[in-house]
């Protein structure tokens, strides 16, 4: 029997693959995209999580998705919601920037983009989570709300109602010195039907907190051919004192018979929702993770 130490596990294991992307869009006179172009480079496999995003899967007239694989000679493995946890961040932060360029509220912008989508769960989730989180409420300076929505799993089916859709509203507070606190995370989801509410609730809560820590904290560095970080003194994780209130809402369920997964879908929209909330609180756009590496101070 072999038992690795924490240091051995962190320095000799498999890692989430690196991903970088460049996105651009052409907007019409109403501010909505008529063309979308994404170029992505990653050290893992394929476009998992990018080619199933509703906006670029038939809702925008002209779409070009490019992906390149960059072998880094580093062992990689399946991190929770592989690919999707990066591509949802790219896309939902970018959609927020499009909404800002169009002078539209981020919620109304997404509702307009999804108006003709064959899956009603997207709009239902957006409306549910926005209502439950009191989207658009007046907040003090340094606080903001951010929104994101994404889907995990629908690349396996031609059915537009495949996979699980999840929408998140994040409420954050950023001090003038740049200290970030996530105050509340609301999530509405559509996996079709729920058979075991307690199990689904646990997966949603865990996935939301997992996605929060991923976006804010998680990073490994390489120096002289080895991983630098060896334990949690160098690899911060959120603790109970850091955990926000997490509200899981069932009002986004459409009752579709697919009975889709719930473990990975909540991870994707959390990071972009927090990043978009940071922008509304500070005026600063976040285009890379982890957020703790960024200067969030404001005056």
pLDDT of the residue at 112: 96
* Stronger pLDDT, 218 or 77, i.e. the higher one: 218
Report phi then psi at 5, rounded to 5.
-75, 170
Average pLDDT over residues 178-189: 98
Q: Which helix (H) or strand (E) holds 189?
A: strand 180-190
Whether 278 and 139 have beta carbons less than 8 Å apart is answered as no
pLDDT of the residue at 54: 67
Average pLDDT over residues 125-143: 98
Whether 180 and 298 have beta carbons less than 8 Å apart is answered as no
pLDDT of the residue at 47: 59
pLDDT of the residue at 52: 58
Give bridge partners of residue 189 from the DSSP assignment. Answer: 166
* Stronger pLDDT, 45 or 171, i.e. the higher one: 171
pLDDT for 49 beyond 90: no
pLDDT for 48 beyond 60: no
Token code pair at residue 162: 């495949």
Per-residue confidence band for 44, with pLDDT thresholds at 50, 70 and 90: confident
pLDDT of the residue at 79: 87
What pLDDT, in 10s, does the model give residues 95-108?
A: 999 999 999 999 99
The answer to whether the bond into 290 is cis (omega within 30° of 0) is yes
pLDDT for 70 beyond 90: no
Average pLDDT over residues 195-215: 96
Q: Mean pLDDT: which of 64-73, 115-124, 279-288 is highest?
A: 279-288
* Stronger pLDDT, 219 or 256, i.e. the higher one: 219
pLDDT of the residue at 280: 98
pLDDT of the residue at 33: 96
**Structural domains of the chain ordered from first start:** 6-293 (3.30.365.10)
Q: Among residues 13, 18, 11, which one has the least CA distance to residue 45?
A: 18
pLDDT of the residue at 72: 83
Taking the C-alpha atoms of residue 68 and residue 182, their distance in angstroms, rounded to an integer, is 34
Taking the C-alpha atoms of residue 180 and residue 186, their distance in angstroms, rounded to an integer, is 18
pLDDT of the residue at 157: 58
Whether 146 and 273 have beta carbons less than 8 Å apart is answered as yes
């Amino acid at each position: 029997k072999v038992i690795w130490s924490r240091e051995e596990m962190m320095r000799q294991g498999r890692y989430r693959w690196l991903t970088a992307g460049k996105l651009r869009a052409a907007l019409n006179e109403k501010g909505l995209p008529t063309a979308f172009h994404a170029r992505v480079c990653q050290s893992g496999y394929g476009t998992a999580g990018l080619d199933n995003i509703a906006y670029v899967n038939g809702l925008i007239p002209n779409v070009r998705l490019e992906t390149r694989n960059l072998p880094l000679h580093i062992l990689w493995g399946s991190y929770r919601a592989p690919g999707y946890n990066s591509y949802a961040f790219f896309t939902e932060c970018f959609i927020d920037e499009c909404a800002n360029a169009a002078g539209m509220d981020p919620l109304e912008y997404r509702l307009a983009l999804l108006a003709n989508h064959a899956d009603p769960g997207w709009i239902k989730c957006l409306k549910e989570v926005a209502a439950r989180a009191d989207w658009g409420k007046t907040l003090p300076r340094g606080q903001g709300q951010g929104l994101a929505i994404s889907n995990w799993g629908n690349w396996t089916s031609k059915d537009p109602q495949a996979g699980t859709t999840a929408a998140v509203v994040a409420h954050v507070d950023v001090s003038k010195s740049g200290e970030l606190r996530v105050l509340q995370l609301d999530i509405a989801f559509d996996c079709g039907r729920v058979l075991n509410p307690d199990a689904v609730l646990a997966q949603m809560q865990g996935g939301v907190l997992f996605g929060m820590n991923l976006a804010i904290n998680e990073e490994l560095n390489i120096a002289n051919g080895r991983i630098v970080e060896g334990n949690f003194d160098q690899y911060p994780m959120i603790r109970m004192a850091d955990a926000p209130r997490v509200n899981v809402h069932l009002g986004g369920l459409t009752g579709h018979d697919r009975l889709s997964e719930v473990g990975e879908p909540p991870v994707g929209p959390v990071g972009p929702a927090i990043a978009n909330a940071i922008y509304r609180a500070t005026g600063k756009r976040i285009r890379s993770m982890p957020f703790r590496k960024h200067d969030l101070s404001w005056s």
